[in-house]
């Protein structure tokens, strides 16, 4: 609509303005009555009126509703909790007969199961965000424990050396844990996402086990070499890697019936079954849009 604005005592050029009206509400047949200014304020009033309406229309037409995921935050929190607890337990080496492993192996395989669930249901992008969230939490934990280590201990406490022995992380162990975690988790999510597309969502058992075999292998090898290279003998290193790898994959296989049920429940409840056909697999991106 063309608004011709002409003052009685002043010559004003004709403006061409878009067809907008302030205060329209969907379902209402007429706009509210707004007193119209006169004189020199008319131009300012009209400009503000048009600008506000255009801004409101753009906001209403371009803002997409946020996807509501009922259980993603619960799985994410569980995933991060498993990572943190496992890394605390990993400070102890365990020997059972000829088997050598670390305490983190007791719970850490569950992290890969949570990773499988995240990738299978929500897709690689959501799994990637969870991986980086876990990494961030572990960094904060290391920083906090290290800071507390160097703060002056109370003379009445008497357990400073015990604290250092358990929570005084060595930089080498920290680096090994964080690097191995990123390499293993991203490989696990990548392989699972690619196999899902390849098999059209079929052969879930093969995809879950296959991705875990690859992810856990690299995780265990990287951690062993970075953390204990030059400390363990060659035979002990092979023992450490093979036992840890086989044990973690074994947990994945044993847990398959439960994993199947969890995945089926989430797909039905969340109405999600992501296929990463056009996904950007760059691990540095954290956006899920």
Sign of the CA dihedral running 222, 228, 233, 237: negative
Contacts of residue 220, defined as CB under 8 A and 6 or more positions apart, other chains included, come to: 180, 184, 240, 241, 244, 245, 248
289, part of any domain? no
pLDDT band at 53, cuts 50/70/90? low
Whole-angstrom CA distances from 185 to 98, 219, 263 are: 28, 8, 18
Does 179 lie in the same domain as 106?
yes
Q: Which of 42, 62, 82 is the last residue of a domain?
A: 62
pLDDT band at 130, cuts 50/70/90? very high
Query: What does the alpha-carbon distance between residue 74 and residue 79 come to, in Å, rounded to a whole number?
Result: 9
Does 169 lie in the same domain as 130?
yes
Query: What does the alpha-carbon distance between residue 251 and residue 110 come to, in Å, rounded to a whole number?
Result: 8
281, part of any domain? no
Sign of the CA dihedral running 209, 212, 216, 218: positive
State the CATH number of the domain containing residue 247. 1.10.1760
For 77-89, the pLDDT digits (tens) are: 999 999 888 888 8
pLDDT band at 51, cuts 50/70/90? low
Residue given tokens 């929190």 in the structure block: 77
Does 215 lie in the same domain as 190?
yes
**Number of domains forming the structure of the chain:** 2
Say yes or no to pLDDT of 5 above 60. no
Does 18 lie in the same domain as 77?
no
% of the chain at pLDDT higher than 90 = 40
Tell which phi-psi region holds residue 14, choosing left (phi > 0), alpha (psi between -120 and 50) or beta: beta
Does 79 lie in the same domain as 104?
yes
Say yes or no to pLDDT of 50 above 70. no
168, part of any domain? yes
Nearest to 169 by CA among 140, 131, 135: 140
Does 76 lie in the same domain as 56?
no
Mean pLDDT over each residue of the chain, to the nearest integer: 80
pLDDT band at 69, cuts 50/70/90? confident
Domain span holding position 185: 72-270
pLDDT band at 20, cuts 50/70/90? very low
Query: What does the alpha-carbon distance between residue 6 and residue 207 come to, in Å, rounded to a whole number?
Result: 73
Give the alpha-carbon dihedral of 103, 109, 111, 114, to 10 degrees: -150
Q: What is the mean pLDDT of residues 136-160?
A: 90
What phi and psi values does residue 272 have, to the nearest 5 degrees? -125, 135
Say yes or no to pLDDT of 8 above 50. no
Does 88 lie in the same domain as 8?
no
DSSP 8-state code for residue 105: G
Q: What is the mean pLDDT of residues 79-103?
A: 83
């Amino acid at each position: 609509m063309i608004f011709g604005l002409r003052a009685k005592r002043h010559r004003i050029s004709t403006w061409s303005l878009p067809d907008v009206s302030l205060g329209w509400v969907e379902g209402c047949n007429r706009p509210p009555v707004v007193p119209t200014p006169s004189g020199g304020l008319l131009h300012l009033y009209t400009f503000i009126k048009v600008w506000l309406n255009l801004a409101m229309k753009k906001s209403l037409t371009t803002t997409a509703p946020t996807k509501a995921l009922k259980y993603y935050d619960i799985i994410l929190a569980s995933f991060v909790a498993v990572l943190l607890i496992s890394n605390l337990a990993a400070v102890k080496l365990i020997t059972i007969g000829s088997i050598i492993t670390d305490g983190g192996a007791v719970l850490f395989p569950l992290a890969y199961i949570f990773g499988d669930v995240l990738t299978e249901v929500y897709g690689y992008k959501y799994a990637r965000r969870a991986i980086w969230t876990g990494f961030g939490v572990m960094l904060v934990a290391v920083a906090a424990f290290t800071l507390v280590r160097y703060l002056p201990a109370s003379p009445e406490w008497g357990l400073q050396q015990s604290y250092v022995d358990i929570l005084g992380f060595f930089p080498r162990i920290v680096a090994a844990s964080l690097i191995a975690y990123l390499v293993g988790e991203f490989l696990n999510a990548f392989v699972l996402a690619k196999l899902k597309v390849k098999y059209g969502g079929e052969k879930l058992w093969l995809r879950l086990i296959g991705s875990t075999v690859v992810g856990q292998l690299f995780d265990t090898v990287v951690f062993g070499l970075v953390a204990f290279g030059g400390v363990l003998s060659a035979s002990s290193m092979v023992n450490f890697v093979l036992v840890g790898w086989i044990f973690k994959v074994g947990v994945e296989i044993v847990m398959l019936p439960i994993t199947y049920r969890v995945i089926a429940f989430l797909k039905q409840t969340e109405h999600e079954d992501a296929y990463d056909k056009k996904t950007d697999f760059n691990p540095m991106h954290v956006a899920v849009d």
